[in-house]
């Protein structure tokens, strides 16, 4: 016995079917795509906000900050796009082309990267 993945109705006939019909199949896929788009949007807006906070500091000529100040501005440390090793052995955590390096528990160095990223 098999049930439609969309509406849960018992499927009669072929046992390899996952849905009642095309309507249920389309509806199911639309819901999955919508959820995926919503997740992209949610995460992108956090990344955008993080990037904007770092960008604003750089534009104001500010190159250091503290975790407390960034948090107060709405920065979310759980979300970033990538991390790269610095020459000094530290790790720079990026939100797109802006990043921060943890100097110590209290201090962060903010940086902007203008060179393009290689994909490997």
Contact residues: Zn ion, CB under 5 A: 4, 6-7, 9, 20, 24
String of b and e for 50-89 (b: at least 16 CB within 10 Å)? bbebbbebeeeeeeebeeeebeeeebeeeebbeeeeeeee
Q: Which is nearer to Zn ion, 25 or 111 (CB)?
A: 25
The distance from CA 27 to its chain's CA centroid, rounded to whole angstroms, is 26
Q: Which is nearer to Zn ion, 27 or 102 (CB)?
A: 27
CB of 53 to Zn ion, least distance (A): 46
Q: Which is nearer to Zn ion, 24 or 54 (CB)?
A: 24
- Helix, strand, or coil (residue 81): coil
CB of 37 to Zn ion, least distance (A): 23
Hey, what are 112's tokens?
């902007």
CB of 38 to Zn ion, least distance (A): 23
CB of 29 to Zn ion, least distance (A): 13
Q: Which is nearer to Zn ion, 20 or 53 (CB)?
A: 20
- Asked if 97 and 114 touch (Cβ cutoff 8 Å), the reply is yes
């Amino acid at each position: 016995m098999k049930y439609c993945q969309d509406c849960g109705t018992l499927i009669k006939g072929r046992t390899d079917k996952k849905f009642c019909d095309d309507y249920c199949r389309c509806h199911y896929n639309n819901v999955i795509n919508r959820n995926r788009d919503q997740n992209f949007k949610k995460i992108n807006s956090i990344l955008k906000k993080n990037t904007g906070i770092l960008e604003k500091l750089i534009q104001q000529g500010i190159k250091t900050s503290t975790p407390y100040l960034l948090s107060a501005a709405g920065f979310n440390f759980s979300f970033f796009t990538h991390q790269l090793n610095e020459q000094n052995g530290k790790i720079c955590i990026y939100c797109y082309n802006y990043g921060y390096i943890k100097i110590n528990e209290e201090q962060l160095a903010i940086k902007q990267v203008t060179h393009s990223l290689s994909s490997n």
